Amino acid sequence: MKTYCLLITVFALTCNCLFGEIKNGYGSEIKGIHESLKSLNTLLTENASLSVFQKAEIKNKINKLVEYITYFELTEELLRQFRTIAPSLYTEIDTIKDSTGQTVTVFVKFVPEKEMEHSAAGTTNLAHRENDKNVYESEYGLYSVSVKIASVNKSLSLLAHEFGHVKYQVPHLATYIEDYSTWYQNETFKSNYIGHNSKDPSGLKATEYENIFRDRYLNFLKTASIKMESPMVLLGIIRKSVGLNQF
């Protein structure tokens, strides 16, 4: 019997010179994910000599890739919804600059609720370039912010909230890091408190953005001629569509 060696290569496109705007956090790997999925489907359907265990292993890998694509598509759609409902808020973050005038890219991922750390509903990373507290940094590189949102029915409000944190933190990073250390140095992680001290301007801006978005959403519902599905309904539709299209 032939032994099949399956190599899946996912190409992550990284660059330290980012050009600003809101981006889908899954986007840098999505091309490689699709290519890997195509190769797996071909292997599964065209190699009759695969053992039961080999088929099971391949199907498991396919399921993981399908899930990745599902959340990429969910993020794409929810960002589109947010931009439609509150275009001015979206533009403020899409064009945000730090204190040096450098544009900063904001990467957004909607993720399964169970993957959120410490049961937080939304997170915005807080990190800076070594030896330069004015330059934001995340896992995506320099001049970038990483935002993660739990995939729940209030995901868009959560995104507005995190965008509020981004709005304050990016241009005030150096001073905010100092204040953050003072306010929260003795705190264990409490998702509803960290970042929301009564004196914390980032927390206040987050609440402001959330309230503005809520008002815009209510106005949208009164005048919209199109229906926007809730995040959880969207997730089911996308998951079914992506899964059916793989075989």
Tokens coding 23: 């981006």
Total domain count for the chain? 1
Contacts of 185 (CB under 8 A, 6+ apart): none
Does residue 71 fall inside a structural domain?
no
Does residue 126 fall inside a structural domain?
yes
Does residue 13 fall inside a structural domain?
no
Does residue 92 fall inside a structural domain?
yes
What is the span of the domain harbouring residue 153?
A: 87-222
Let me know: does 209 contact 164? Beta carbons within 8 Å.
Answer: yes
Whole-prediction pTM: 0.87
Does residue 65 fall inside a structural domain?
no
Does residue 51 fall inside a structural domain?
no
Does residue 2 fall inside a structural domain?
no
pLDDT tens over the chain, length 247 residues: 333 333 333 333 334 444 579 999 999 999 999 999 999 999 998 888 999 999 999 999 999 999 999 999 999 999 999 999 999 999 999 999 999 999 999 999 999 999 998 788 999 999 999 999 999 999 999 999 999 999 999 999 999 999 999 999 999 999 999 988 887 766 555 555 566 677 899 999 999 999 999 999 999 999 888 888 999 999 999 998 987 666 5
Does residue 129 fall inside a structural domain?
yes
Contacts of 165 (CB under 8 A, 6+ apart): 124, 195, 202, 203, 205, 206
